[in-house]
Structure 1
């Protein structure tokens, strides 16, 4: 019984770490996307002819 509880706790901890890492990566990606959109809007507002498109 103790071994099962220990295994469950370890798996729960692993899943929590994975979730935190995924959330952090998603927040970084969202921030990068927001900066790209803000730059595109700025270029459009300035009346530039072309807007560089990100390839990623």
Structure 2
């Protein structure tokens, strides 16, 4: 998995481009104990129009 930051105003959002052309979006935050957590919040596929803006809204 090669995550790269979305950048710009979408701080905390990471993108993973899959071999089949789909794009997975992850958010990065710290939990109540200060431990970093990365969670997949959506995936853009041929049938889904999920975007980095949608990931940032989560």
Same fold (TM over 0.5): no
Name the TM-score, length of structure 2 as normaliser. Answer: 0.24
TM norm structure 1: 0.24
CA radius of gyration, larger in: 1
Q: Return the structure number with greater helix share.
A: 1
- Normalized per residue, the structure richer in strand is 2
